[in-house]
Amino acid sequence: MKQGLSTAQANLKLALWNAEAESISSSELYVRLQELRLPEEVVSRLHQILTYTKKAAGKVFSVGKIVLLKIIEFVKAHPFLVAGAGIGAVVGAGIASLITSIPFLGQLLAPVAAILGITITAVGAVVGHRLDQRFQGVGEDIVEIARYFFAFLGDVFGAVFPDIATA
């Protein structure tokens, strides 16, 4: 099983990510976000993340830019997965909303509606991932999606909270 990064490795990775983040202007990052063809409201909200920084070991790190660059990297590497999950989430939320709006029974069916919404989102992500990877077998897809996501999430949390990542 893969071991976590040592403190020195995590610090080096964070320093490299920060150097990359510092080399990109906010306006250039805004253009990159627009090239992903996301809704303007999403682009604006993601662009707001840029201002978040964290001081560690006497140095200020552009955590917001780092996170945003990693999000862009993930979306570019898995465009259909992201689109499939997004479409699945919208459809799932719509169906869940319709179910919960049924008079009298809606509140009783709310847990079922939530599970249905999550399932539809997951199916959208798997379909999108299959388009990205063209793998055979849904089981392999789910494992690979989970691995990519948790590796991405681990990298982000490891960079933002290096003390917790090494504990």
Which of 33, 57, 76 finishes a domain?
76
Copy the structure tokens of residue 107: 């509140």
Same domain, 150 and 85: yes
The SS3 call for residue 105 is: coil
pLDDT: which is higher, 82 or 60: 60
Provide the residue range defining the domain that includes 32: 1-76
* 8 Å CB contact between 152 and 74: yes
In this prediction, residue 51 has a pLDDT band, given cuts at 50, 70 and 90, of: confident
* Structure confidence at residue 1 (pLDDT): 42
Q: Are residues 44 and 102 in the same domain?
A: no
State the total domains in the chain: 2
The runs of H, that is alpha helices, within the chain are: 7-22, 26-35, 40-48, 63-77, 79-100, 106-133, 138-160, 162-165
pLDDT over 50 at 11, yes or no = yes
The pLDDT of residue 60 is above 60: yes
List, for residues 97-148, the tens digit of each pLDDT value. Answer: 888 888 887 788 888 888 877 888 888 777 777 777 664 455 556 656 767 7
Among 30, 60, 76, the domain-final residue is: 76
